[in-house]
């Protein structure tokens, strides 16, 4: 009897261990704190767990696994299975997707940003570019046009930006440099200290990030319509980890992307933007709105030259830069 009971207990333990061993757990590296920018990642984790009965789960870490500027490196070595990063943090590592960060592309909604990004992510040159890091592009983090929160005298004309130190990455930084500003690229988590200490006088962010990273606690003015561009921040997965999933797990993951993005865009449009105006009003932040002639001059100074420089630089890398640029502008309808 003891032998039979022992055998039964051992069998139960073995089955339980096997069931536990079959469960899949992914680590996900993001940064900052939970905010609009990460809601699609949170939603994706929720959906995948639901669809697999809890057999495929994701542990989302806000800065505990890697610096945000090193998330792509972490993916490449399999330090974690999923991560979010911004192309402008390291343009040399992901040059193809920086086409989406060129200034004044004319994207006017999160929905259009999503459609454009997903289409670019499927281009063979882009797939090959990220494959160098053992990364597969999963979904974008669509963001509205960036604008500046700043301290000191507000730049009432574009000429007032001459010599102004600004935090601006990617194509936005290139555009600001062309009108005489002095752009500095730094990660989002470093921005508040830089603004408080005077290292920079203005910071370009989307509204959610101005709130999340505290620039509006220091800032005195906000540009309502400079709209120089946005940044492209994909969510990627380690390709080996993706390939190792069972068919059901992979279907749960890939089949949840659209729903996660739908949730994200709804959250951003209806939750984040509803808070933005009141947040500015509560702090007495001055709104700066530029007339059309100033904006036209900015576009003329920045858009064409930035695109030409991007095409030349990346063609020299052996990339089909002109084709990528034409694909993007063709989708937008330019």
In the predicted model, is pLDDT for residue 106 greater than 90?
A: no
Q: Are 249 and 24 in contact (CB under 8 A)?
A: yes
- The domain defined by 147-230+275-332 carries CATH number 3.40.190.170: yes
pLDDT band at 21 (very low <50, low <70, confident <90, very high): low
Which pLDDT score, from 0 to 100, does residue 5 have? Answer: 46
d(CA 237, CA 58): 12
In the predicted model, is pLDDT for residue 1 greater than 80?
A: no
Mean pLDDT score across all residues of the chain: 92
In the predicted model, is pLDDT for residue 19 greater than 50?
A: no
d(CA 24, CA 244): 10
Q: Where are the chain's structural domains?
A: 24-142+231-272, 147-230+275-332
- The domain defined by 24-142+231-272 carries CATH number 3.40.190.170: yes
Q: What does the block give as tokens for 307? A: 């695109």
In angstroms, the Cα distances linking 44 to 41, 51, 139 are 5, 11, 10
pLDDT in tens, 139-198: 999 999 899 999 999 999 989 999 999 999 888 998 999 999 999 988 888 999 999 999
d(CA 296, CA 302): 10
Residue 165, phi then psi, degrees to nearest 5? -80, 125
d(CA 277, CA 222): 11
Q: What is the reported pTM?
A: 0.85
Taking residues 226-247, what's their average pLDDT?
Answer: 96
Domain pair 24-142+231-272 / 147-230+275-332, same fold = yes
In the predicted model, is pLDDT for residue 274 greater than 50?
A: yes
Burial of 121-146, coded b for 16+ CB within 10 Å and e otherwise, reads: bebebbeebbeebbbbbbbbbbbbbb
């Amino acid at each position: 009897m003891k032998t039979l009971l022992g055998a039964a207990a051992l069998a139960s333990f073995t089955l339980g261990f096997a069931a536990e061993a079959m469960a899949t757990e992914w680590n996900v590296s993001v940064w900052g704190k939970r905010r609009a920018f990460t809601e699609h990642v949170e939603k994706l984790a929720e959906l995948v767990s639901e669809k697999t009965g809890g057999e495929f789960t994701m542990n989302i870490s806000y800065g505990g696994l890697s610096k945000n500027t090193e998330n792509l490196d972490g993916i490449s070595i399999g330090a974690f299975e999923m991560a979010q990063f911004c192309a402008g943090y390291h343009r040399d590592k992901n040059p193809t997707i920086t086409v989406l960060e060129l200034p004044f592309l004319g994207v006017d909604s999160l929905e259009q940003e999503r459609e454009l990004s997903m289409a670019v992510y499927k281009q063979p040159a882009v797939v090959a570019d990220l494959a160098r890091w053992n990364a597969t592009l999963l979904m974008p983090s669509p963001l509205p046009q960036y604008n500046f929160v700043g301290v000191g005298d507000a730049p009432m004309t574009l000429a007032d930006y001459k010599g102004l130190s600004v935090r601006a990455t990617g194509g936005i930084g290139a555009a600001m440099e062309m009108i005489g500003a002095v752009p500095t690229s730094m990660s989002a988590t470093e921005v508040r200290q830089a603004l408080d200490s005077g290292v920079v006088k203005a910071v370009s962010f989307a509204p959610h990030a101005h709130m999340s990273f505290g620039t509006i606690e220091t800032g005195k003015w906000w540009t309502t319509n400079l709209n120089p561009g946005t940044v492209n921040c994909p969510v990627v997965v380690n390709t080996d980890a993706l390939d190792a999933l069972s068919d059901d797990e992979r279907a749960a993951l890939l089949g949840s992307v659209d729903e996660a993005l739908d949730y994200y865009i709804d959250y951003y449009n209806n939750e984040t933007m509803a808070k933005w105006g009141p947040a500015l009003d509560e702090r007495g932040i001055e709104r700066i709105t530029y007339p059309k002639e100033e904006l036209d001059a900015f576009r003329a100074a920045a858009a064409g030259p930035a695109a030409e420089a991007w095409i030349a630089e990346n063609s020299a890398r052996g990339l089909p830069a002109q084709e990528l640029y034409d694909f993007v502008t063709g989708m937008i309808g330019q």
